[in-house]
């Protein structure tokens, strides 16, 4: 290993260690929805992950068996299925914990009374059959999975034929029905040597074009992420455990599943069989789901600033941002950047995003009316372990449904409140106000739904801003959180704050030509962590500026490209 790489891995371990050291006791795992000692409802003991060896079933199987076995049965049947596993109160308590029930103790007590009482309690408290299945499957994932399977077979919970089918075919893949023929409506171009992908039409058409045109790149990224030391160290899980979460924890809409399933078909038609494997199996739909939840299980830093009013450049109000993320050991995240123009139709807004092949969520994006959404990690957390919306999919739904105007920020917040998340986020958003100006805010968002239904809206002036600006890094400024922060987040925040306050004090505008140097002041370039792209968005003008990092330089030091989003949507829609 090269000395610089050794130093980079040391930096990663140090950073993770610092974050752990700052986390208060009882906060649980940093990001991903997994039980920990601190979360135990009735005992200091915790379920132990199944040992990984050649003779031990993978955790995925346990969740699949449970989910599939209970499908199609009435609720008392599901209750009998859970009881047949002969769990003690502690394990039953974990089911309540995963569902974030207020009355978890009552859940356990009613469980002891009998099936009928328990089934009535579940129905009375509005716990869906699907959530009960998945919460139990989630807990099952931490048991001795092979032993649980033997128990299931002996008690005739799952038939041998059904069990074998589960081993051969993942649960999620069964539920997507694609049209026999899918039209090719997409287009792949090069813009300054960067892939620019346009997809439009139905969910199936958009996904198929994505997979067909970028199949080889998607496969390479999936293969790398599934085994990459940097990513798995940061996630704190092996890849099979991450696949399990796609069954037990995350919710995908029918359109999202269709889009990914059609992407898989496009990949299968483009990439030879021998080249599209992870280990000894073919890449499947669950791999695409896992890749699209990467922001939930691997997290790092970002910095952004909206500048408006008296501080705005002469060109108009602007939003600038660095996306800082991990660089895999093969550096594919710097070698394969993507600009994605997504035109969904059916009344939803088109949007342009900086992203990577295979990802269909929103990371740094603006829609055709100038509404901006930028994802940042933050120090919030959640309670539920099932029924979660992937972090990049909530903003996608919001940006597709929200137009410009003075109510845009409130509309974005309302839509996010309808999505349950686990990890904490700062979503920096902006929109033309319809009067020639721009409104901007940071939506401090997490899964603590009792607190403002999960979203606190922070606007300029709420936390001491001395001018026409608002900043986001990786901590909450207004919303409460008991979690520790990544060490550099306040430093980057103060760097931006100082730069803006100096301009406000001197009553001078920030010039467009100075924006890159502002972002250079908070860039990351630490080997395994780098500023992968920087955006320069003028919402009122509807222009989206972007610069991508390369192997040698972080993004703020690279050339900026600019695109007028409405013009690009019009051109693509007419072709």
Query: What are the tokens at 383?
Result: 């309670």
Inside any domain, residue 6: no
User: Around Cβ 224, how many Cβ atoms within 10 Å?
Assistant: 18
The total number of structural domains in the chain stands at: 3
Give, for 167, the enclosing helix (H) or strand (E).
helix 160-168
108, 212: one domain: no
225 near 249, Cβ under 8 Å? Answer: no
Inside any domain, residue 180: no
Position 32 confidence tier, pLDDT thresholds 50, 70, 90: very low
236, 307: one domain: no
What CATH number has the domain bearing residue 390? 3.60.60.10
At 322-380, the pLDDT tens digits run: 999 988 888 888 899 999 999 998 899 999 999 999 999 999 999 999 999 999 999 88
386, 371: one domain: yes
At 276-329, the pLDDT tens digits run: 999 999 999 989 999 999 988 887 789 999 999 999 999 999 999 999 998 888
446 near 430, Cβ under 8 Å? Answer: no
The full DSSP string for 199-230 is EESSHHHHHHHHHHHHHHHHHHHHHHHHH-HH
At 142-157, the pLDDT tens digits run: 554 444 555 555 545 4
The last residue of one of the domains, among 138, 169, 200, is: 169
251, 306: one domain: no
Q: Give the three-class secondary structure for 168.
A: helix
Question: Looking at residue 194, what is its pLDDT?
Answer: 96
162, 196: one domain: no
Cα–Cα dist 114/129, whole Å: 18
255, 400: one domain: no
Q: Which residue has the tokens 């007028």?
A: 564
341, 244: one domain: no
Name which residue leads in pLDDT, 525 or 173: 525
448 near 383, Cβ under 8 Å? Answer: yes
Cα–Cα dist 68/64, whole Å: 6
Name which residue leads in pLDDT, 437 or 247: 437
* Nearest residue to 352 via CA among 154, 564, 532: 564
403 near 539, Cβ under 8 Å? Answer: no
Average per-residue pLDDT in the chain? 81
State if pTM tops 0.75: yes
CA 396 to chain CA centroid, nearest Å = 11
348, 469: one domain: yes
Question: Looking at residue 153, what is its pLDDT?
Answer: 52
Tell me: pLDDT of 243 over 70. yes
Cα distance from N-terminal residue to C-terminal residue, the chain: 49
At 157-169, the pLDDT tens digits run: 445 554 444 333 3
363, 464: one domain: yes
* Nearest residue to 424 via CA among 480, 490, 353: 480
268, 323: one domain: no
CA angle 59, 65, 68 (to 5 degrees): 135
Percent of the chain with pLDDT over 70: 77
- Domain containing 247 equals 187-295
Span of 374-378, 482-486, 499-503 with lowest mean pLDDT: 482-486
Inside any domain, residue 25: no
Cα–Cα dist 165/180, whole Å: 24
At 386-417, the pLDDT tens digits run: 778 999 999 999 999 999 999 999 999 999 99
287, 302: one domain: no
The last residue of one of the domains, among 266, 295, 324, is: 295
Percent of the chain with pLDDT over 90: 53
34 near 237, Cβ under 8 Å? Answer: yes
Inside any domain, residue 487: yes
Dihedral in degrees, nearest 10, Cα atoms 244, 247, 248, 253: 140
487 near 465, Cβ under 8 Å? Answer: no
The last residue of one of the domains, among 251, 271, 295, is: 295
Query: What are the tokens at 208?
Result: 């198929």
Dihedral in degrees, nearest 10, Cα atoms 226, 227, 228, 231: 50
Question: Looking at residue 516, what is its pLDDT?
Answer: 98
At 52-111, the pLDDT tens digits run: 332 233 333 344 444 444 444 444 445 555 666 667 788 788 788 878 787 788 888 888
368, 285: one domain: no
Cα–Cα dist 22/534, whole Å: 28
């Amino acid at each position: 290993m090269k000395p610089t790489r050794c130093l980079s891995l040391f930096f990663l371990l140090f950073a993770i260690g610092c974050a752990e050291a700052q986390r208060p006791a009882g906060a649980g795992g940093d990001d991903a929805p997994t039980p920990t000692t601190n979360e135990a409802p009735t005992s200091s003991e915790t379920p132990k992950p199944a040992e990984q060896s050649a003779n031990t079933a993978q955790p995925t199987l346990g969740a699949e068996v449970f989910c599939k076995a209970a499908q199609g049965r009435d609720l008392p049947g599901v209750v009998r299925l859970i009881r047949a596993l002969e769990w003690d109160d502690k394990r039953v308590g974990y089911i309540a914990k995963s569902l974030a029930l207020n009355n978890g103790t009552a859940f356990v007590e009613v469980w002891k009374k009998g099936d009928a009482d328990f089934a009535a309690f579940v129905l009375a408290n509005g716990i869906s059959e699907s959530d009960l299945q998945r919460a139990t499957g989630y807990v099952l994932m931490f048991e001795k999975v092979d032993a649980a399977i033997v128990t299931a077979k002996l008690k005739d919970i799952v038939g041998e034929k059904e069990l074998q089918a589960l081993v051969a075919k993942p649960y999620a893949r069964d539920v997507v029905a694609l049209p026999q023929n899918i039209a090719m409506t997409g287009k792949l171009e090069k813009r300054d040597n960067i892939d620019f992908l346009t997809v439009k039409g139905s969910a199936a058409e958009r996904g198929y074009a994505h997979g067909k045109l970028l199949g080889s790149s998607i496969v390479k990224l999936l293969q790398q992420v599934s085994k990459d030391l940097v990513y798995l160290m940061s996630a704190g899980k092996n890849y099979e455990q991450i696949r399990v979460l796609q069954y037990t924890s995350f919710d995908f809409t029918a359109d999202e599943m269709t889009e990914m399933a059609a992407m898989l078909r496009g990949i299968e038609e483009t990439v030879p069989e021998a080249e599209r494997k992870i280990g000894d199996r073919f890449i499947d739909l669950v791999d695409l789901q896992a890749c699209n939840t990467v922001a939930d299980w691997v997290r790092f830093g970002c910095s952004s600033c909206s500048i408006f009013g008296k501080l705005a450049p002469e060109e108009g109000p602007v939003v600038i941002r660095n996306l800082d993320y991990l660089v895999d050991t093969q550096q594919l995240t710097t070698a394969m950047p993507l600009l994605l123009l997504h035109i969904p139709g059916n009344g939803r807004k088109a949007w342009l995003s900086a992203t990577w092949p295979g990802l269909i969520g929103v990371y740094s994006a603006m829609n055709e009316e100038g509404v901006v959404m930028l994802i940042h990690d933050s120090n919030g957390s959640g309670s539920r372990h099932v029924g979660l919306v992937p972090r990049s999919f909530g903003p996608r739904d919001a940006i597709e449904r929200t137009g410009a105007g003075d109510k845009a920020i409130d509309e974005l917040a309302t839509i996010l409140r309808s999505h349950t998340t686990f990890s904490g986020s700062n979503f920096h958003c902006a929109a033309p106000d319809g009067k020639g100006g721009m409104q901007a805010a940071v939506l401090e968002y997490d899964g603590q739904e009792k607190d403002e239904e999960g979203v606190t809206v922070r606007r300029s002036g709420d936390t001491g801003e001395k001018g026409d600006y608002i900043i986001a890094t990786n901590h909450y400024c207004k919303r409460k959180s008991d979690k520790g922060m990544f060490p550099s987040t306040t430093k980057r925040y103060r760097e931006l704050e100082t730069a803006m306050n100096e301009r406000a004090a001197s009553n001078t505008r920030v010039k467009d030509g100075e924006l890159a140097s502002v972002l250079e002041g908070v860039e990351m370039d630490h080997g395994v962590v780098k500023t992968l792209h920087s955006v320069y968005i003028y919402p009122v003008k509807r222009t989206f500026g972007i610069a991508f990092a390369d192997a040698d330089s972080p993004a703020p030091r690279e050339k900026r490209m600019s695109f007028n989003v409405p013009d690009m949507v019009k051109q693509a829609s007419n072709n």
